[in-house]
Amino acid sequence: MTNRAKIEFLYKEDGMRNDVFLNELLHDDFILDWDSSHGNVNMNKADIIGLAKELKQNYVDSFMEISHFIEDDNQIVVKYNHKVTTIENPKEFVLIAKVVVIWEFEADKIKKGYQISKPN
């Protein structure tokens, strides 16, 4: 699978909530530098897999509405809106965040991520 195909699966096939897929996708030394409404957070592979499990537990469905997808060598940039459905309202997608992320690949795995997000 190409790096582009991996990222497309991550966002288009709900791979963001798939801990098995993330375990294969992320390098063992993975680090995410995330600027959010809570400040700057650095997350490792275990943190991201934990977040995936939390997203799966807290939301019925998750959808990434991609507006930009740019690939250059070993980097992929994605701009998207993250929408979810809740247990209380499983038929209506609600926007929870607007996100821009840069993924850097090494040896066919994501080694680094730089993300900026803001809640809706």
Which CATH entry fits the domain spanning 3-119: 3.20.20.20, 3.30.565.60, 3.40.50.300, 3.10.450.50?
A: 3.10.450.50
Other beta carbons less than 10 A from residue 57's beta carbon: 8
Q: Who has greater pLDDT, 120 or 79?
A: 79
Distances (CA, A) of 82 to 72, 74, 89, 107: 23, 24, 16, 28
**Per-residue pLDDT at 18 exceeds 90:** yes
- Residue 38, pLDDT score: 87
36-52 residue pLDDT tens? 988 999 999 999 999 99
What's the average model confidence in pLDDT over 54-77? 94
- Residue 120, pLDDT score: 79
Annotated domain spans of the chain: 3-119
**Per-residue pLDDT at 74 exceeds 90:** yes
96-118 residue pLDDT tens? 999 999 999 999 999 999 999 99
Q: Which amino acid is at 68?
A: H
Task: With 0.95 as the threshold, say if the pTM is over it.
Answer: no
Of the candidates 28, 48, 17, the one whose C-alpha atom is nearest the C-alpha of residue 115 is 48
